[in-house]
Amino acid sequence: MASSAEHRSIFKLQGGTGKHVDGDVLDPLQCRPFQALVQLSPPPRDPGAQGSLKVLPGFHAASAHFFEVSGLPPPAGGFTPLTEHDHPDLIDEELWTPVARLPARWRDKHSRGELPAPSAAPSARGRAGVVKALRGLAAELRALEGAPLQPGDYVIWDTRLPHTTGDPDALCGHERPRQVFYCAYTLAAECVALSAEQRSCRATGLHTSWAPTAQRHDEATASYVPAPLSELGRALYGYGDGG
């Protein structure tokens, strides 16, 4: 029996982001307190292929120090790309690792109190010293051989941590499209206006004002009806008793 209701599926393909930082290095809580995603698709055979999430481990703890000793302006929030001109040492592939599950060996070492000392990058002398310490940390993590991410895994990282999903605008190199659910968070005390806009968008079907213009009216049709909310959903939207 055919349904009279109109159903539409909208898929947006995003190319690689390039290596970048999203947070404010000197005031990381100014925008998002952290970044996160839920992995939806199975892992690729090659975890380093275009489209996989890779990070520069340990940089978040050394970020303010790195930019101070480098004489470069620190990222102040928003999308800050790492470039060949300003950050040739940071974009070196030897410093980057694919995001993986916490290795069993790591848990074993932790239970026995045998984890290595924290990275020396935050207190290393000079720019070259910071990069050398980060290179050592990346090699150490690769040696632990964590298992690839699986559907349902929750990944959380510091906003000062450089990350990438591949070369700028490069298409995914996996056998199938990579699918993840990105989670955006803000401090409750600083998101009154944002919450109000989210409630307005829910009521009208419009996308947020900061979304791409082409997507603004994708769901705002005459037949649009807001989905019902659970008690948790109402709390997340910031509805009061009468909302």
Q: Give me the pLDDT at residue 46, please.
A: 77
C-alpha of 108 from chain center: 28
Q: Where are the domains of the chain?
A: 20-187, 191-237
* pLDDT at position 1 over 50: no
- Provide the 8-state DSSP code for 135: H
Are 135 and 121 contacting, i.e. CB atoms less than 8 angstroms apart? Answer: no
Q: Give me the pLDDT at residue 70, please.
A: 97
pLDDT, averaged across the chain? 84
C-alpha of 166 from chain center: 13
Q: Give me the pLDDT at residue 61, please.
A: 96
Give the residue-averaged pLDDT of 172-184: 79
* pLDDT at position 214 over 70: no
Within 13 Å and on the Cβ side, how many CA atoms surround 115?
Answer: 13
* pLDDT at position 133 over 90: yes
* pLDDT at position 198 over 90: no
Beta-strand ranges (E) seen in 77-224 are: 80-81, 97-98, 154-157, 163-164, 180-184
List, for residues 86-98, the tens digit of each pLDDT value.
999 999 999 999 9
